[in-house]
Amino acid sequence: MENQSLLLTLTLGTGLSFVLFFVFYLGLKLSSKLSSLLTILAVEIIYIPLVALNWPGLDVFAIHFAFFTMVPYGLGMITSQRDTQRRYDKLQGRPMDTPAQKWRIHWVPATIVGFFIVLACVDALIITLANKGADTSFMQRFLPEPRSGNAPTSTFPGVVSHNYKEKYDQFNSYINQLKAQHDRGWKLTEGWQSKPIVGQDTPFKVSLVDREGKPITQGQAQVIFLRPSNQKLDQTLDLAETAPGQYGTQVQLPEPGLWQLVIKIQQNNQLHEVKGTTWVQPAS
């Protein structure tokens, strides 16, 4: 179930929940609590195997799971209150004759159910906008003109470095690599040779030595600069060995502010990897 069909899957699941609940409650004459429980189980048994075959992400799964659970639960609250009111009226000798009397509900459970419906709709809107963005015509009509002159967009272009949600099968090997790296005792030092300024070449150099302080030579080194807010600005640069165990190059970054960086040096089958953050000064 793709993020693009979020509204469709929520609507179909909610409609199915309503139908199943009233089949159990009115058709089979089951109690409100049992009808609610059976509806939740039936809908989740259908949804969970489908979502397992095409995982849409934890946020999308969570809103579906919560919505498909809260709708039958809310119906159970309302009908349970109705049944209790009918029993009370019967004891008081007040028969419920009119349709309005038969389906009257207390404002408290109605408010709770309404709150969760509004909450789910807002969450669905947020998730949809985060994945697809708003319509271009809507953006142009209600948002100010971008200073850059480009077409406005509301999508988030950033990425998460080393996203193991999509590479879960690589996680164990990554942990093993970190342990082996720690056991080797290699040490990586240095970095920027002067304060980096946006749009200007700045020397970047690292030094790698082993546990005894001997330089690690003839390695293949690179540095990856990641822009959290826009993956299109990411840069991968090779570091040339300028001296035994020292690797460097000139770096020019296009935007000021915070950058993430990953330094990788591989010698034969041994990989040394260090992650960090850096700050690029704006041009004066």
Tell me, yes or no, whether 211 lies in a domain.
yes
pLDDT at residue 13, rounded to an integer: 83
Instruction: Name the DSSP class of 144.
Output: P
224 confidence band (pLDDT: 50, 70, 90): very high
Total domains, the chain: 2
Tell me, yes or no, whether 144 lies in a domain.
no
- 57 and 121 co-located in one domain: yes
CA–centroid distance for 149 within its chain: 30
Segment 185-204, tens digit of pLDDT: 999 998 999 999 999 999 99
- 12 and 76 co-located in one domain: yes
231 confidence band (pLDDT: 50, 70, 90): confident
- 212 and 266 co-located in one domain: yes
Tell me, yes or no, whether 151 lies in a domain.
no
Secondary structure class of 150 (helix, strand, coil): coil
- 21 and 111 co-located in one domain: yes
Tell me, yes or no, whether 176 lies in a domain.
yes
- 36 and 118 co-located in one domain: yes
Tell me, yes or no, whether 47 lies in a domain.
yes
Tell me, yes or no, whether 98 lies in a domain.
yes
Helix axes 6-22, 58-91, angle to 10 degrees: 30
This prediction's pTM? 0.46
Other beta carbons less than 10 A from residue 15's beta carbon: 11
Q: Which of 1-10, 29-38, 53-62, 243-252 has the lowest mean pLDDT?
A: 1-10
Tell me, yes or no, whether 197 lies in a domain.
yes
Quote the domain boundaries for residue 85: 3-137
DSSP 194-253: S--BTTS-EEEEEEEE-TTS-B--S-EEEEEEE-TT-GGG-EEEEEEEEETTEEEEEE--
CATH classification at residue 265: 2.60.40.1930
- 111 and 204 co-located in one domain: no
Segment 33-60, tens digit of pLDDT: 899 999 999 999 998 888 888 877 777 7
Tell me, yes or no, whether 30 lies in a domain.
yes
- 120 and 186 co-located in one domain: no
- 12 and 125 co-located in one domain: yes
Segment 73-124, tens digit of pLDDT: 888 877 887 677 666 666 666 665 555 455 555 676 667 767 767 776 776 6
- 7 and 66 co-located in one domain: yes
pLDDT at residue 223, rounded to an integer: 95
Separation of alpha carbons 240 and 182, rounded Å: 24
Separation of alpha carbons 153 and 37, rounded Å: 43
- 93 and 190 co-located in one domain: no
pLDDT at residue 127, rounded to an integer: 66
- 40 and 109 co-located in one domain: yes
Segment 199-208, tens digit of pLDDT: 999 999 999 9
Secondary structure class of 152 (helix, strand, coil): coil
Separation of alpha carbons 138 and 132, rounded Å: 13
- 133 and 24 co-located in one domain: yes
Secondary structure class of 272 (helix, strand, coil): strand
User: What percent of the chain is predicted at pLDDT more than 90?
Assistant: 31
